[in-house]
Amino acid sequence: MSTPHQTIISPLSVPYQSYMPKTPCYAPDQTQERFLYLFRGQIVIWTPDLDSLSKIFSGLVENPSLASFPRRIILSPRRRDSMKDTAELFASLDALKVRLDAHCPLSPDVVSQIREDMRIRFTYHSNAIEGNTLTMSETKAVLADGITIGGKSLREHLEAVGHSHAIDYLEALVQRDEALTERTLREIHNLILRNIDGANAGTYRRMNVLISGAGHIPPPAERVPERMDAFFQWYGAARDRMHPVEFAARVHADFVNILHPFKDGNGRTARLIMNFELMRAGFPTVIIPVESRPAYYQNLDVIATQGNYSPFIIQIAELAKQGFAPLLGPC
């Protein structure tokens, strides 16, 4: 079923004249178990059958309806058991995005309430995942009221304040329509840690590290700069080749798994830059609940040990769907 401003397309038949820029279109091919989607002027094929790629490619290129279509075609193999789930999730997210874009404007008071609620919940859950013991109500008291919580460490208070400042910084970057750069990444990390560990805030680690409970080892410290260069090269090339939610999830996963460039604060930084990409694309903030920490860590480890991003992408996409609820209420 198509949604407003969307065109469902099928393999070898793409009505170019009805294409809406920046509006993804998906078509499951149930018999061939392939998915084709149109996104930001590109045709993307997902298929687990590498032998069929050349045949699909030839059929698309030879199709007359593609004569004036941008000619960047990306062939992306996907695991058969997850293609349908991810394609349907992306389609439902895009339908929600269309509804949100067409929704009546929220009042300034409502927007302010939603932003404050997001700030508190995001800060609480992201810090709790890392072991911070402030409760949700205590986090609110620290951020909204400036209250010091008895029995809680100074570090835990500073973690809450630093994370909140980092959210402010992300929102300012989005307002200026800036992309993530090495400079802005370091500043995000600096805001998280500068009042806790100033010597390492915004500075790549100078020691090797292990990730407790993970089945992989991050690169040695001396390779972090070159890995970061490679990450930003990929970042610049990949953003327009993926659905925004998939891209945001990949940014998070690759940063924290493949790179782990800082001594501390990598998880919080990863969740912040993931949400930065979602904000830039007009999607709601994804808050990973501390209660989902075991599945979250397991999905990240599957990426690092098996190269399978699908479980993590699906987890993030499901959370993104939940994020639309407070934004699509009655006018």
What is the DSSP secondary-structure string of 184-242?
HHHHHHHHHHTTT-TTTTT---SS----TT-SS-PPPGGGHHHHHHHHHHHHHHHGGGS
Question: What pLDDT does 88 receive?
Answer: 84
- Do residues 170 and 279 touch, judged by C-beta distance below 8 A? yes
Mean pLDDT of 101-126: 90
Question: What pLDDT does 54 receive?
Answer: 53
User: How far is Cα of residue 4 from the mean position of the Cα atoms in its chain?
Assistant: 24
Backbone angles phi, psi at 37, to 5 degrees: -140, 155
Q: Could you list the active site residues? A: 260
Share of the chain above pLDDT 90, in %: 57
Question: What pLDDT does 239 receive?
Answer: 87
Neighbours of 16 (CB within 10 A): 16
Cβ-proximal residues to 153 (8 Å cutoff; 6+ apart), any chain = none
Domains annotated for the chain, with CATH where assigned, are 16-85 (3.30.750), 108-327 (1.10.3290.10)
- How far, in Å, are 58, 65, 232, 242 from residue 42 at the CA level? 16, 14, 21, 10
Question: What pLDDT does 42 receive?
Answer: 47
Q: What is the mean pLDDT of the chain?
A: 80
Is residue 35's pLDDT more than 50?
no
Q: Which of 12-26, 58-72, 99-113, 142-156 has the highest mean pLDDT?
A: 142-156
| Amino acid symbol at 258 | I
Q: What DSSP string runs through 46-60?
A: EES-GGGHHHHHHHH
In the chain, the largest separation of any two C-alpha atoms, in whole Å, equals 71
- How far, in Å, are 92, 110, 141, 317 from residue 296 at the CA level? 22, 31, 27, 13
Distance CA 259, CA 254 (A): 7
pLDDT digits (tens, 9 = 90+) for 38-83: 444 444 554 444 455 555 555 555 555 544 444 333 344 444 455 5
Global pTM?
0.77
Mean pLDDT of 307-328: 92
Distance CA 228, CA 181 (A): 10
From 12-16, 170-174, 292-296, the region with the lowest mean pLDDT: 12-16
pLDDT digits (tens, 9 = 90+) for 136-165: 999 999 999 999 999 999 999 999 999 999
User: pLDDT-derived band of residue 107, with 50, 70 and 90 as boundaries?
Assistant: confident
Which position has the token pair 């279509």? Answer: 69
